[in-house]
Amino acid sequence: MSTDADTPTGSTPSADRTGSTPAEPTGSTPPAEPPGAGPDGSHMVVFDKVLKQFGTNVVLDHLDFTVRRGERVALIGPSGSGKTTILRLLMTLEEVDGGVIWVEGQPLTHQFKGDKLVKASQKHLRAARSKIGMVFQQFNLFPNMTVLGNITEAQIHVLGRSKAEAVERARELLATVGMSDKEDAHPTTLSGGQQQRVAIARALAMDPDILLLDEVTSALDPELVADVLGVLRMIAETTDITMLLVTHEMGFARDVADRVLVFDKGKIVEEGTPEQIFTDPQKERTRTFLKAVLER
Ligand SMILES: Nc1ncnc2c1ncn2[C@@H]1O[C@H](COP(=O)(O)OP(=O)(O)O)[C@@H](O)[C@H]1O
Ligand SMILES: [Mg+2]
């Protein structure tokens, strides 16, 4: 499981990314001390030399990064740079080929057997995944269920809430996303923007600690984008949920993100505050990407 044979030293390039935390101890065997929590328990997500490949296509190349509790991190970069794969790994929809992902100080992709890390069992993955919610580009609502059914189903079957509790929480969230009058509607009768607002409510209904947003406005007609982004801005302002957001909406990234990671070919080419990345990018790759996006 050792994946760091080709990294020259124990100090990772990510060591100073959080601005405050010293380098985590790394070694050729899984660390006895979990690096996932961070020295002050502030690490929500840690990617530790994560390798992901499809066949011979190396999509994430020993990727290191850390997200602090409550932080909003925007992942930007050209198509095919690995952004969706990062979110799908966190959602446990894909498996890593090397390295370890940690969530709230616990291994996500692995579990401890004694003091050794072994590949996570399905049971471990199910439990770990319940902390994480994801909203997809294509909404992915259950077409055969009403809006209310979509939002209550997993609350009841995964969290074990009573139907009444689940309905109460669903109605709160439908009010939050401005969809109270549509609880009996079927997804196919809704606009894309409405479907996406339901999908956001469905993700939040699980009370996740981490919300993953994958180009949630890319499939929407332009006039519906603002509604959905408005809902997400409000959620960002009124909750302390940790967010990883993949977006081509640079204005949204700028408003919501605390930090921007620029990806190319499965690696972070540059990172900084939105201010730094959008007004004073240091890398040519960042500049050409931003130019292409802004000229869309
Ligand atoms: N299920 C898959 N099977 C094969 N290749 C995949 C699969 N998913 C993603 N890829 C490849 O991984 C790379 C990164 O894809 P992705 O994470 O979707 O990038 P992004 O979201 O940044 O556009 C691309 O080369 C893509 O073709
Ligand atoms: Mg993608």
Task: Please give the number of the atom of ligand 1 that sits closest to the Cα of 266.
Answer: 14
Ligand nearest to the CA of 214: 2
The encoded tokens of residue 140 equal 């992915």
In a domain, 80, yes or no: no
* Ligand 2 midpoint to CA 23 (Å): 30
Residue 165 lies in a domain: yes
Poorest-pLDDT segment among 23-27, 51-55, 255-259: 23-27
* Ligand 1 center–CA 237 separation, angstroms: 31
Q: Is the pLDDT of residue 18 over 80?
A: no
- Over range 156-180, report the average pLDDT: 96
Choosing from 57, 96, 246 the residue with most ligand 1 atoms within 8 A of its CB, the one to mutate for a pocket test is 57
Task: Find the mean pLDDT for residues 97-122.
Answer: 94
- Residues whose CB falls within 8 Å of the CB of residue 14, separated by 6 or more in sequence, listed in order: 64, 65, 66
Q: Give the range of the structural domain holding residue 172, as residue numbers without chain letter.
A: 142-207
- Asked whether residue 116 is assigned to any structural domain, the reply reads no
Position in ligand 1 atom list of the atom nearest CA 82:
17
| pTM, to two decimals | 0.87
**CA atoms of 50 and 4, how far apart (whole Å):** 9
* DSSP string across 199-249: HHHHHHHT--SEEEEESTTTTS-HHHHHHHHHHHHHHHHH---EEEEE-S-
39: confidence class by pLDDT, cuts 50, 70, 90: low
210 alpha-carbon distance from chain centroid: 7
pLDDT at residue 13, as a whole number? 38
- If you take atom 25 of ligand 1, which residue's CA is the nearest one? 80
List pLDDT tens digits, range 78-87.
999 999 999 9
Residue 139 has pLDDT above 80, yes or no: yes
In this predicted model, what pLDDT tens digit does every residue of 87-97 receive, in sequence order?
Answer: 999 999 999 99
Predicted confidence (pLDDT) per residue in 182-208, tens digit: 999 999 999 999 999 999 999 999 999
165: left (phi over 0), alpha (psi -120 to 50) or beta: alpha
CB-based contact 12:4 (threshold 8 Å) = no
Ligand in closest contact with the CA of 137: 2
Measured from the alpha carbon of residue 78, the closest ligand is 1
**Tally of domains within the chain:** 1
Q: Look at residue 260 in the predicted model and tell me its pLDDT.
A: 98
Percent of the chain with pLDDT over 90: 82
Ligand 1 nearest-atom number relative to CA 263? 22
**Cα of 89 from ligand 1 centre, angstroms:** 12
The predicted model gives 30-34 an average pLDDT of 49
Pick the residue with more confidence: 42 or 180? 180
Instruction: Count CA atoms within 13 Å of residue 44 on its CB side.
Output: 20
Report yes or no on 126 lying in a domain.
no
CA–centroid distance, 266 to ligand 1, in Å, is 10
Whether residue 71 has pLDDT greater than 60: yes
Question: Is 194 inside any structural domain?
Answer: yes
For the beta carbon of residue 125, count every other beta carbon within 10 angstroms: 17
Residue 166 included in any domain: yes
Position 275 in a domain: no
- Residue pair 174/146 in contact (Cβ under 8 Å)? The answer is no
Say which residues have a Cβ less than 8 Å from residue 214's Cβ, sequence separation at least 6: 83, 84, 87, 134, 135, 136, 137, 246
Which atom of ligand 1 is found nearest the CA of 75? 22
User: Is 117 among the domain residues?
Assistant: no
Average pLDDT, the chain: 88
Quick check: helix, strand or coil at residue 49?
Answer: strand
Cα separation, 31 vs 27, whole angstroms: 7
Please give all residues whose beta carbon lies within 6 A of any atom in ligand 1, as ranges.
54, 57, 59, 79-85
Kindly report the protein residue whose alpha carbon is nearest to atom 18 of ligand 1: 84
Angle between helix 163-176 and 222-238 (nearest 10): 110
- Best mutation site among 53, 59, 96 for ligand 1 pocket (most ligand atoms within 8 Å of CB): 59
pLDDT score of 181: 97
pLDDT of residue 252: 94
What gap in Å lies between CA 224 and CA 43, rounded to an integer?
Answer: 35
Q: Is the pLDDT of residue 232 over 60?
A: yes
| Model confidence at 144: pLDDT above 60 | yes
> What is the torsion angle, in degrees rounded to the nearest 10, for the CA atoms of residue 226, residue 87, residue 195 and residue 141?
180
